[in-house]
Amino acid sequence: MTRILVYATSARTIERLDPPVRRRGSWSGRLLSADARDMVRVREARGAFRDFYAQCFWYLDPDLRVTLRDVPEIVRGLRQNGGRKGFLVAARLCR
């Protein structure tokens, strides 16, 4: 993807080539149905459970199969024990 950047301080135009970046959970530009949004929330919650298990979810079974019913518990654990990074992940799960 080629972008043209114009700086306000000068009349120069700089062309830069940005490689495509794919991030888990990033918005792709298409509208999602309620079921698809729930599936994305569950996928994100599973990743957060795996990433923050030792810090936030040590009291739960490590082989827990995270479902939509478990998302509020994942959010609560991230907010209470996940630090700043966990809090931001919890905010993303609550959208």
pLDDT tens per residue across span 15-65 = 445 555 555 555 566 667 888 899 999 999 999 999 999 999 999 999 999
Give domain status of residue 18, yes or no.
no
Decide if 37 is inside a domain.
Answer: yes
φ and ψ of 82, to 5 deg? -90, 0
Q: Is there a domain that residue 57 lies in?
A: yes
At 33 the pLDDT is: 86
The stretch 57-74 carries a mean pLDDT of 95
- Whether 78 is covered by a domain: the verdict is yes
pTM of structure? 0.66
Q: Which residues does 87 contact at the CB level (< 8 Å), separation at least 6?
A: 78, 79
Q: Which of 92, 94, 77 is nearest to 23 (CA)?
A: 92
User: Is the confidence at residue 70, as pLDDT, over 80?
Assistant: yes
Could you list the residue range(s) of the whole structural domain that residue 95 is in? 33-95
> Considering its fold, how many domains does the chain have in total?
1
In a domain, 62, yes or no: yes
